[in-house]
């Protein structure tokens, strides 16, 4: 595949310079694509989450379409090579997530450790409990345990003592079955000798069924425990706390790992798109790029969440993708033009509801009718089209505002807010969630904390220096997409970045830091080298 890298700096884009406040010089980085593994499958979710074993220099790639793991060698990252595929169909209805950690094994000199692959597997039907399956790096089965309903993410704690799964607990399409969401905490100290079901404890939300102000609970007849849908887990550096993004609920759950207890649920609030710096383009029928202020509040609704440590403390970073509930038995989705707007709150309703203004923007029926009279006093959108930094209590420290759409407007004006499965789709996603920042990864580079955010729809990556969490500095915009190519024919480059993985210098096959990106639409996994300019 021909590669199409592009780097644009903040100054080249004409973005406002960020003052570093503490005298840090600007960090200039380039991302250079070294090589790509191609599954040969288009738009089949054949390359999603990626894990890495530094001992064998193998990648473990979630191929959801084939219900298998693609094991790929990056000993030579310029030529990623398929080693084997591991069939996961014996364990359930489809794998969703993967991670690599260390497991204890009895050795001649006592206790030793070996790399272990942990896989989250959903059931068939998805409303039944799923499984956590453990393999060695050759794909041989080690152990498995039952976890909660629809495990959608799996991760080892930094200590290696526990594996956690985010159990989304989505309802059936007809909404007649609505399992509870939870976080399974698996004690893996006996992993190699064989786990027992007693090693698993579920941290549930039943203690909060009385309600938490500001948390979205709106499924038909659902308790809070049923309505919570854990999406992604970040773990504190000391392995004591888990911070769980509950996307549809627009909330952060804080979990004590040792006791497997949800300590608190924090609503994440909304972003006011009427304020300067928070503008958005809300229409795909306005004939151009129009990033403006509008009377809309965006739910942050993060997908990926990561924790990171800076000289000033520990923080969380989120990619604010957004998501709605849209099922056969219940849907919250509507367009603003289809709502009845309160005449006092919106005296200019006819103007706002025009297709070229807010009319096309997807909104929710579950929020906004503040007085229950059938018309809407507030308007909401899905996702914040940004990344955010939070403290460990869920307080907002920084949000990137309108920068993502501004970057795309300057990098690819002819392909602004395109979709990821077809070229020639200018402005197609503006009425939905824009570029859909979904994946985020953060690594330590040259004494800095650098975040990489993937735009699922636009198929691009941005880098920010987050060493000072309250004032991240934009580093560059990178894309391996060819807008002149044919997406379905495999000539459009990488499409739909999903999972992102930072490999530090000490674990890299080249001795240089790498970023690995799984692209679910193009079915490609690309290894990027991170170079200091």
- Give the whole-number percent of the chain exceeding pLDDT 90: 91
Question: pLDDT band for position 25 (50/70/90)?
Answer: confident
Q: How confident is the model at residue 110 (pLDDT cuts 50, 70, 90)?
A: low
Asked whether residue 76 is domain-assigned, the answer is: no
Write out the residue range of the structural domain in which residue 328 sits.
268-299+324-382
Q: Are residues 197 and 307 in the same domain?
A: no
382, 400, 431: which is the final residue of a domain?
382
- Domain check: are 262 and 116 in the same one? yes
What are the tokens at 57?
């220099």
Element at 104 (helix H, strand E): strand 94-107
Query: What is residue 533's predicted lDDT score, i.e. its pLDDT?
Result: 87
Q: pLDDT > 70: what percent of the chain?
A: 94
Assess whether 363 and 260 both reside in one domain: no
Residue 74 domain-assigned?
Answer: no
Question: Taking residues 321-343, what's their average pLDDT?
Answer: 98
In the prediction, which pLDDT does 4 show? 31
Separation of CA 249 from chain center: 15
* Integer Cα distance of 482 and 491 in angstroms: 7
User: Residues 260, 284: one domain?
Assistant: no
Answer yes or no: do 405 and 523 share one domain: yes
The H-or-E segment that residue 224 falls in is helix 224-227
Residue 189 pLDDT level (bands cut at 50, 70, 90): confident
Measured between alpha carbons, how far is 429 from 437 in angstroms, rounded to an integer? 12
> Picking from 35-49, 102-116, 221-235, 427-441, which range would have the lowest pLDDT averaged per residue?
102-116
* CATH number of the domain to which 150 belongs: 2.140.10.20
Mean pLDDT of the chain, nearest integer: 94
Write down which residue in 335, 355, 382 finishes a domain. Answer: 382
pLDDT tops 70 at residue 106: no
CB 301 within 8 A of CB 320: yes
Residue 385 corresponds to which tokens in the numbers above? Answer: 């089209």
Q: Are residues 219 and 308 in the same domain?
A: no
- Is 63 domain-assigned? no
pTM: 0.95
Based on the fold, state whether residues 104 and 246 are members of the same structural domain. Answer: yes
Residue 11 main-chain phi, psi, to 5 deg: -65, -35
Average pLDDT of the segment spanning 183-204: 92
pLDDT of amino acid 386:
98
For residue 1, pLDDT over 80 is answered with no
Q: For the chain, what is the domain count?
A: 3
Residue 75 lies in a domain: no
**pLDDT of 2 strictly over 50:** no
Q: Domain ends where: 363, 382, 401? A: 382
Q: 480 and 370, same structural domain?
A: no
Confirm whether 236 is domain-assigned. Answer: yes
- Please determine, for residue 5, whether its predicted confidence score (pLDDT) is greater than 60: no
Helix ranges (H only) for 243-359 are 349-352
Which among 515, 510, 450 is positioned nearest to 28, based on CA atoms?
450
pLDDT tier, 113 (very low <50, low <70, confident <90, very high otherwise): confident
Give me the residue label for tokens 């099922």. Answer: 327
Instruction: Tell whether 227 and 198 lie within a shared domain.
Output: yes
258 with 343, same domain: the answer is: no
129 and 217 part of one domain: yes
Taking only the tens place, the pLDDT of each residue in 125-153 is 999 999 999 999 999 999 999 999 999 99
Q: Are residue 358 and residue 223 in the same domain, yes or no?
A: no
Would you say residue 278 lies in a domain?
yes
In this predicted structure, the answer to whether residue 478 has a pLDDT above a threshold of 60 is yes
Please determine, for residue 312, whether its predicted confidence score (pLDDT) is greater than 60.
yes
Full DSSP string of 402-445: THHHHHHHHH-GGGTT--SS-SS-TTTTTTTTTT-EEEEEEEEE
pLDDT band at 17 (very low <50, low <70, confident <90, very high): very low
Q: Is residue 503 part of a domain?
A: yes
**CA distances in angstroms from 262 to 232, 244, 304, 402, listed in the order given:** 15, 10, 19, 33
Q: How confident is the model at residue 103 (pLDDT cuts 50, 70, 90)?
A: confident
> Which pLDDT score is estimated for 112?
67
Q: Is residue 279 part of a domain?
A: yes
Which pLDDT value is given to residue 232?
98
């Amino acid at each position: 595949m021909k590669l199409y890298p592009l780097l644009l700096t903040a100054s080249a884009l004409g973005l406002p310079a960020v003052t570093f406040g503490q005298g840090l010089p600007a960090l200039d980085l380039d991302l250079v694509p070294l090589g790509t593994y191609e599954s040969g499958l288009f738009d089949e979710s054949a390359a999603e989450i990626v894990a890495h074993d530094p001992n064998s220099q193998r990648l473990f790639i979630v191929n959801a379409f084939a219900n298998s793991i693609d094991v790929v060698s990056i000993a030579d990252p310029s030529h990623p090579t398929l080693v084997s595929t591991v069939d996961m169909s014996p364990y359930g209805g489809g794998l969703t997530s993967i991670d690599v950690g260390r497991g204890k094994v009895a050795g001649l000199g006592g206790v030793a450790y070996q790399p272990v692959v942990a896989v989250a597997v959903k059931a068939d039907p998805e409303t039944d409990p799923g499984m956590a399956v453990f393999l060695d790096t050759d794909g041989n089965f080690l152990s498995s345990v039952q976890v909660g309903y629809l495990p959608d993410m799996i991760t080892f704690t930094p200590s290696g003592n526990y594996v956690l799964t985010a159990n989304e607990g989505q309802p059936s399409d007809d909404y007649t079955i609505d399992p509870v969401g939870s976080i399974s905490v698996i004690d893996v100290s006996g992993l190699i000798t064989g786990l027992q079901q007693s090693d698993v404890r579920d941290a549930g939300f039943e203690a909060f069924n009385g309600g938490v102000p500001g948390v979205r609970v709106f499924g038909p007849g659902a308790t809070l425990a049923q309505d919570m849908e854990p999406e992604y887990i970040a773990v504190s550096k000391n392995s004591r706390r888990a911070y769980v993004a509950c996307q549809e609920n627009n909330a952060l759950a804080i979990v004590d790992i040792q006791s497997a207890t949800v300590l608190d649920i924090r609503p994440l609030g909304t972003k006011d798109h009427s304020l300067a710096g928070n503008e958005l383009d809300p229409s795909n029928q306005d004939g151009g790029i129009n990033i403006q202020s509008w009377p809309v509040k965006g739910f942050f609704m993060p997908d990926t969440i990561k924790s990171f440590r800076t000289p000033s403390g520990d923080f969380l970073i989120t990619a604010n993708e957004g998501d709605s509930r849209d099922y056969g038995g219940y849907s919250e989705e509507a367009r603003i033009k289809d709502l009845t707007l309160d005449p006092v709150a919106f005296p200019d309703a006819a103007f706002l509801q025009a297709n070229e203004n807010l009319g096309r923007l997807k909104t929710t029926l579950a929020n906004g009718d503040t007085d229950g009279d059938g018309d809407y006093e507030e308007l909401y959108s899905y996702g914040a089209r940004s990344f955010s930094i939070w403290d460990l209590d869920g307080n907002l420290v920084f949000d990137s505002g309108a920068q993502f759409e501004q970057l795309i407007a300057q990098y690819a004006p002819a392909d602004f807010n395109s979709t990821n499965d077809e070229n020639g789709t200018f402005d197609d996603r503006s009425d939905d969630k824009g570029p859909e920042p979904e994946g985020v990864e953060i690594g330590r580079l040259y004494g800095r904390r650098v975040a990489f955010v993937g735009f699922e729809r636009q198929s691009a990556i941005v880098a920010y220096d987050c060493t000072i969490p309250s004032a991240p500095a934009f580093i560059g915009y990178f894309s391996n997409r060819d807008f002149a190519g044919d997406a379905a024919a495999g000539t459009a480059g990488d499409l739909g970045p999903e999972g992102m993985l930072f490999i530090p210098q000490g674990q890299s096959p080249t001795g240089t830091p790498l970023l690995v990106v799984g692209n679910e639409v193009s079915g490609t996994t690309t290894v990027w080298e991170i170079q200091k300019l």
